[in-house]
Chains A and B, each alone.
Chain A
Amino acid sequence: MATTSASSDDPTGAVPEAEPRSIFLRAYVPTDEPTPKRRGYPRPSDWVLVFDTETWPDAAQNMRIGTYQLRQRGRLRDKGIFYNPEEVRDFELAVLQREAVKHGSRLITVTEFREAILFDAAYKTDASIVGFNLPFDISRLAIKHGSARTIVRKDGTKDRSMVGGFTFKLSDVEGRPNIRVRHLSRRSAFINFTQVWDDPVYVMGDEGEEEVVKKPGFFLDLRTLAAALTSNSFTLDRLAGFLGVGRKGTFSDFGRDLDPELIAYAVQDTQVTWECYEALISRYRQHQLATPPTRIYSEAGLGKAYLNAMNIRPWRAVQPEFPPEIIGAIMSSYFGGRSEVHRRREIVPTLYCDFASMYPSVCTLMDLWRYVVSDGMTREDWTDGARALLAGVDLAALQRPETWRDFHALVLVKPAADIFPVRARYSDGPGGRYGADPSTTIGLNYLTSEQPVWMTLPDCIASKLLTGKSPEVVQAIRFVPKDVHTGLAPVNIAGNSAYGVDPATDNFYKRVIDLRREVKGRLSAAKKSGAAKSEIDRLDAEQLALKILANATSYGIFIELNVEDADRQDEPVTAYGVDGSFPTSPRQTETPGSHFHPLLATLITGSARLMLAITERLLLDEGLDWAFCDTDSMAFARPAGMAQTEFRKRVERVCAWFSALNPYEKPGSILEFEDQNTDRETGEPRDLYCYAISAKRYALFNWGDDGRPIIRKASAHGLGHLLPPYGPDDPDEPERDTGVHLWQEHFWEQMITAAAGRADDDDAEFVWRPELAKPAASRYAATTPTVLSWFAPFNKHRHYASQVRPFNFLLWFQSKKPHERAVEDNGALFDPRQRPPKPVAPYTKDLSTIDHIWDRETGEDVEPAWLRTYAEVLRTYPVHSESKFLDGGRTRRGPTRRRHILADLVWNIGKEGDRFEEDGSIGAEDDPAVPYGLTPSHRAAAIEAVRETKERFGVRAFRKAAGVSDNTITRALEPDSTIADRDLVRMRNGAERLWAADGVRAKEDAALLDGMRSRATEIGVPALAAELGVDASNLAKVLARTRTISASLRRSHAGT
């Protein structure tokens, strides 16, 4: 094997000193969700109600008028304008009456619209209820709202799908259903009618006629369907442009009196919405899927619809009996993609490459499709096989595609300075070098752990490539797919018979990527030959559908876990993690998606990390360096003194290595040079440079003739929450070809210029335009009851109509800390107890028009001096730490080094939830995860430490050292103690401090070691290990002082 023990972070190969830290592993908590059984889908009727509302631009955003169209089979049957009598004055009503006649529309009140149109016409006929950003429009129609609750089904199971959402009351008429809306993302929401108690339907059940009261309705948000079909976010106007239908009018002054122009705009809005609906439905129908479009919430939904069309039964449905302990082990080995910065805050000459369709490619190489179409999987012990494979694997073996088909294995390893993905809290607290970020991040670091951990086989191979040694294998499990299940049906992708896929015989991912490459080739040929626009559009839509399909079915759906708030009264549930089961009472539950298959997800991301590890190994062997990597891409860095042609030649050699792993028809390497390496105009190679700050914060650029950087690709990570301080971009505009908005491009130019000048850019000010001196604003909507509760003080004493309500858009500002204010304002009396305000304002695209900013908690006005400006917010961006690595501190620049983590405590966690709004940390990099608690072995060890400490030092000293009560210590030592992990860790830390201060343990350990050494001399290490009931190799390390004495060894020794 052409590897050395040196990894890229330290040429000498020296492993840094170990630092004890908690590490976090994913766990699995089974839910009481019934196993998915699909019999068919209710379908909407041929009626469609399209509507839209226009509101005041203030904080309450009350509805003024709305427009609707009621259509049957596309034919317009009714259209009208509805108005809110409380918000329309007499003279405006006269204008409305005139304009309604002019537009051939009925004029009705909003109450009439709700009762006669929404309920009598649309609800009762099962019409599709269509809008653009429907949650907002529905909330405008509401007369009251509340939080959505858990529903207990007839069989006793619970439906929590809408928990965390809102229930809207739209009618005072008894028996009319409410509408429930649960925000999922900026692009999608679950919307349905609640149960109704009048006019029920009866069906024949097991015990005679039963009432059926559930009628969820068919809501279709065009924003959601457009995103699922195109992978893009749109405004209505941009969607209309994209689909080539009539454009929406332009209008911005929604605060003025109702006039013909505003009314015409509203009428046109609904017409455009209808036309977009028609165009999108037509696109969707091309796919010829049985799933109704109202059930497509994302690209993944489209992928699942294809899997359903192929009659693929989800793994959980075909193998519901699969042991949860194994699922727990699989989940504990799951980590996301690798994203790191290696050359930090330096301008580095670079060549930028990425893997073509990384996830579909590794799926194809490992032949994971067999698992998707199989009747489940079997497993077998493969400990010896894994040891043998790890001992023999080298770059030559990895270059053979057949090797990758043996990677369907998980390995229980005992890491000893092996390089593995490590999820930890790397920051070192407020004021520390690495910042105070409390969230967990994943870094590929050296890991040492007494507790064995599960890793994927590809991760173990990656570790060997980077360290030169095989990890110690404790156990390995190999998985084998069962037979292909019967009844699979071929499909035509995008409805084109030329794009047929037979799930039983084709490798789906390979077929789809091959088709896409073929279509892309035809598309570029069509463009060159000046083919008709309709032909180009058709090919473009087809290649897009293929791309979405490949991505949607090759990863995300296998690890889909929907996080929902748990009921407080719930009993503890059993969780499964790295070392078995344990009870937990999580505040949230994770409900697996229908195609949940964590083995595939963990193997896919593990293999993608292996691809990057191979790249790293190869580039080091070529004498190169790297600047950053991000999931499927690598920015190679040119070493000082190397000519550009030589650099390019060596990178080409690295890329060429991967040609052998190309599973597709089109020849070439799967590691490809990106367009950024060539000139935009000429397409000739051009020197590319990189400036990277931390993971996912980087820019690639060329130097212009004027000495200014020309951004080629940049990241908006950590900037996306800020509204553009200046135009022409608005927050909904798409990114430019650099991947970011114009103002973000300018910001990167400023940072690079400052870094190039090296005029100590640590404190660089970024005020390149006057707008940067304005308060930094972010936009958000009150999408959950928790976020809305922020406005309780503001809403108090206000009439419902003037309150901040669900889905209202607002602006959020960052406020300065009181001590910062005191520094600025000499006259201000600094009161350390003063609470900084939490400023908000009504939403507007034009920030210069904001005239009222208030504290969301008190409702009091906020002085502008409290607000951080864009310049102040951006100041910290270039010094954002790369805390997961050494030398990644704020002011450090240059190469980072891998940390060496000693797993001090191992915690089980759930999915990182998308709750940044609620946590009030807009712009944070990672979101807090669902905590499940310590692993059982670490919990037992902590309790043992408490017992020992109490016996040794007494309750009084222990209580003082740990900062807990006597009662807490007593509870910890009860049989089957349920004491909280938090208290247990506090006591364990207190115990550590006591033992350290006392020095007793050190003496005891020395005596213990002497005793064991003498005994080992007498009877030999293996015999002593057998006597103590411990592992011989570990014991040898302890005797050689390369490993500390564990609590279990102490216990074993005491027992003898």
Chain B
Amino acid sequence: MTDLDYDLHCDAERAKKRQKFEAAGHFVHVCVCCPQDDVLCLTFEHPAGKNSDDTTLLVCMNCKALRDCLQRAEPSPSPNPRNVFEVIGRWLLSMAGYFGILMSTLRGFGDFLINLAKDGYGDDLSFV
């Protein structure tokens, strides 16, 4: 396989994935928790759980794994997963989980920028 064939193959897969996301109404293809924007790494996430609500978000596989891990610590479902309180409750827990992952991303990026500054980068930039 040549480099060209390899790139075309990957991008054909990306195109299929984009189409899938767009058909579901997602036109911005970035993970909600981190800056990952390669559609190949993104997947659907049901914030309130598949059984409770059909709404989806896009997250990357890494954040999805973290979120799944957190989700296992959540209370077990009530007999009616579509119960309004159940749905809202699951939403809130999901939001907390996303913010938790996001905080770790923000901390990491903040540290990264400060280290860049310590290495002398950014001296030529200014806020408009």
Interface residues of A (CB under 8 A from B): 39-43, 45, 47, 72, 77-78, 120-121, 124-126, 199, 201-204, 206, 212, 215
Contacts and interface: CB of A to CB of B under 8 A. Distances in A.
A199 B16 CA distance: 9
B19 A124 contact: no
B27 A204 contact: no
Contact of B27 (A42, A45, A77): A42
Contacts of B27: 39-43
A201 to B, nearest CB: 5
8 contacts: A40-B27, A42-B18, A42-B22, A125-B12, A201-B19, A201-B20, A212-B23, A215-B19
A201 B56 CA distance: 17
B20 A45 contact: no
Interface string B37-59: 00000001000000000101000
B23 A78 contact: no
Contacts of A124: 8, 11-12, 15
A120 B11 CA distance: 11
B125 interface: no
Contacts of B15: 45, 124-126
B24 A40 contact: no
A458 B106 CA distance: 61
Contacts of A212: 19-20, 23
Nearest to A211: B23
B20 A47 contact: no
B1 interface: no
B25 interface: yes
Contacts of A47: 8, 11
Contacts, number: 57
Contacts of B54: 204, 206
Given A40-B22, A124-B15, A204-B24, A77 B7 contact: yes
A121 B2 CA distance: 13
A210 to B, nearest CB: 8
A500 B21 CA distance: 34
Given A125-B8, A204-B54, 10 more contacts: A39-B25, A42-B19, A43-B27, A45-B14, A45-B18, A47-B8, A120-B12, A125-B11, A126-B19, A202-B20
B4 interface: yes
Nearest to B11: A125
A203 B16 contact: no
B67 to A, nearest CB: 18
B11 A45 contact: yes
Nearest to A124: B12
A215 B18 CA distance: 11
A204 B44 contact: yes
Contacts of B18: 42-43, 45, 126
Nearest to B14: A45
B44 A77 contact: no
Nearest to A72: B7
A77 B4 CA distance: 7
Nearest to A199: B16
A215 B56 CA distance: 22
A212 B14 CA distance: 15
A206 B20 CA distance: 15
A42 B4 CA distance: 24
Contacts of B22: 40, 42
Nearest to A290: B27
Most B CB within 10 A of own CB, among A45, A120, A201, A206: A201
A50 to B, nearest CB: 16
Contacts of A72: 7
A204 B4 contact: no
A116 to B, nearest CB: 10
A292 to B, nearest CB: 11
Contacts of B16: 199, 201
A203 B24 contact: yes
A42 B16 CA distance: 12
A78 B12 contact: no
A71 to B, nearest CB: 11
Contact of B8 (A120, A201, A202): A120
A998 to B, nearest CB: 71
A567 B11 CA distance: 40
Nearest to B25: A39
Contacts of A41: 27
A203 B23 contact: yes
- What are the 8 tightest A-B residue pairs by CB atom distance, in nearest-first order? A40-B27, A124-B12, A126-B15, A125-B11, A212-B23, A203-B23, A42-B22, A201-B20
Nearest to B44: A204
A968 B67 CA distance: 76
A492 to B, nearest CB: 15
B23 A201 contact: yes
B48 to A, nearest CB: 14
A41 B18 CA distance: 11
A115 to B, nearest CB: 13
Contacts of B4: 77-78
Residue in B7, B11, B27 whose Cβ sees the most chain A Cβ within 10 Å: B11
Of listed B12, B25, B44, residue having the most chain A CB within 10 A: B12
A204 B54 CA distance: 9
Contacts of B14: 45, 125
A199 B15 CA distance: 12
A204 B8 CA distance: 26
Nearest to B56: A204
A39 B24 CA distance: 11
Contacts of A77: 4, 7
B41 to A, nearest CB: 16
B117 to A, nearest CB: 28
B51 to A, nearest CB: 13
A570 to B, nearest CB: 29
Of A126, A206, A215, most buried by chain B (CB within 10 Å of CB) is A126
Interface in B22-80: 22-25, 27-28, 44, 54, 56
Contacts of A199: 16
Nearest to B7: A72
Contacts of B44: 204
Contacts of B23: 201, 203, 212
Contacts of B28: 40
B73 to A, nearest CB: 26
A202 B16 CA distance: 9
B58 to A, nearest CB: 13
A124 B4 CA distance: 14
B31 to A, nearest CB: 17
A203 B22 CA distance: 10
Contacts of B8: 47, 120-121, 124-125
A201 B13 CA distance: 10
Interface in B80-111: none
A278 to B, nearest CB: 20
Contacts of A40: 22, 25, 27-28
Contacts of B24: 203-204
A202 B21 CA distance: 10
Contacts of A45: 11, 14-15, 18
A233 B18 CA distance: 35
A45 B18 CA distance: 9
A123 to B, nearest CB: 9
B49 to A, nearest CB: 14
Contacts of B11: 45, 47, 124-126
A1022 B23 CA distance: 68
A72, A77, A124 — which one has the most chain B CB atoms within 10 A of its CB? A124
A315 B54 CA distance: 31
**Best-buried of A72, A78, A121, A125 by chain B (most CB within 10 Å):** A125
A67 B56 CA distance: 44
A45 B14 CA distance: 9
A201 B14 CA distance: 12
B47 to A, nearest CB: 14
Nearest to A78: B4
Contacts of A202: 20
A471 to B, nearest CB: 52
B100 to A, nearest CB: 26
Contacts of A204: 24, 44, 54, 56
